[in-house]
């Protein structure tokens, strides 16, 4: 099964918001720099993630993107589904009708059972891994946090 670039970048970007954002809005230019992803491409991905309710945004000089939910409540599976659609190892699992699937043996296909179980295992695993889990792994591996330094001016 192939995970699209959009999904991979979406997971990396939301991890970045969770890990480096510190609960504050994170600017897309900083995410793009840290994750080495095109800013324009990230904007397209973030539009999908906003529509899915995984992100929220704030405009203005202190604006940026924040997680819409706690990192423990956002799974890798949710991000993948928001970015690319259903997790399907083979196209025929999207269809129950052989004509739509362009498959002559769909109703009697024995191997489809294997692909269905593969799909269930993948979905179950991706849904079991949260952004908080990824942040925990990053801390254990010693990934340094690049918290956005908000400047305060006193007169």
Q: Which domain holds residue 22?
A: 5-86+130-140
Domain holding 80: CATH number?
Answer: 1.10.10.10
Reply yes or no on whether the pLDDT at 1 is more than 90. Answer: no
Domain membership of residue 67 (yes or no) is yes
Domain membership of residue 58 (yes or no) is yes
Domain membership of residue 108 (yes or no) is no
d(CA 16, CA 29): 12
Domain membership of residue 44 (yes or no) is yes
Who contacts 64 (Cβ-Cβ below 8 Å, separation ≥6)?
A: 21, 24, 25, 26, 27, 28, 57, 58, 148
Domain membership of residue 11 (yes or no) is yes
Length of the chain: 155
Reply yes or no on whether the pLDDT at 96 is more than 90. Answer: no
Domain membership of residue 105 (yes or no) is no
pLDDT band per the 50, 70, 90 thresholds, residue 89: confident
Quote the number of domains for the chain: 1
Report which DSSP code applies to 65. E
Burial class (CB in 10 A: 0-12, 13-18, 19+), 121: exposed
Average pLDDT, integer, range 88-92: 81
| Helix (H) / strand (E) containing 55 | strand 55-58
Domain membership of residue 33 (yes or no) is yes
Domain membership of residue 109 (yes or no) is no
One DSSP character per residue, 66-98 reads EESS-GGG-BHHHHHHHHH-S--SSGGGG-SSH
pLDDT of 97-136, one tens digit each?
445 556 777 777 888 889 889 999 999 999 999 999 999 9
């Amino acid at each position: 099964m192939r995970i699209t670039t959009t999904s991979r970048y979406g997971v990396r970007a939301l991890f970045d918001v969770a890990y480096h954002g510190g609960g504050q809005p994170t600017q897309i230019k900083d995410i793009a720099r840290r994750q080495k992803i095109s800013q324009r491409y990230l904007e397209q991905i973030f539009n999908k993630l906003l529509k899915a309710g995984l992100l929220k945004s704030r405009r203005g000089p202190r604006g940026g993107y924040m997680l819409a939910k706690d990192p423990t409540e956002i799974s890798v599976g949710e991000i993948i589904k928001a970015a690319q659609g259903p997790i399907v190892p083979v196209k025929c699992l999207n269809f129950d009708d052989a004509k739509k699937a362009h498959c002559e043996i769909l109703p009697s296909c024995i191997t489809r059972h294997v692909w269905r179980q593969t799909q269930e295992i993948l979905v179950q695993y991706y849904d079991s891994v949260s952004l908080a889990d990824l942040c925990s792994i990053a801390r254990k591996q010693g990934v340094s946090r690049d918290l956005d330094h908000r400047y305060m001016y006193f007169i």
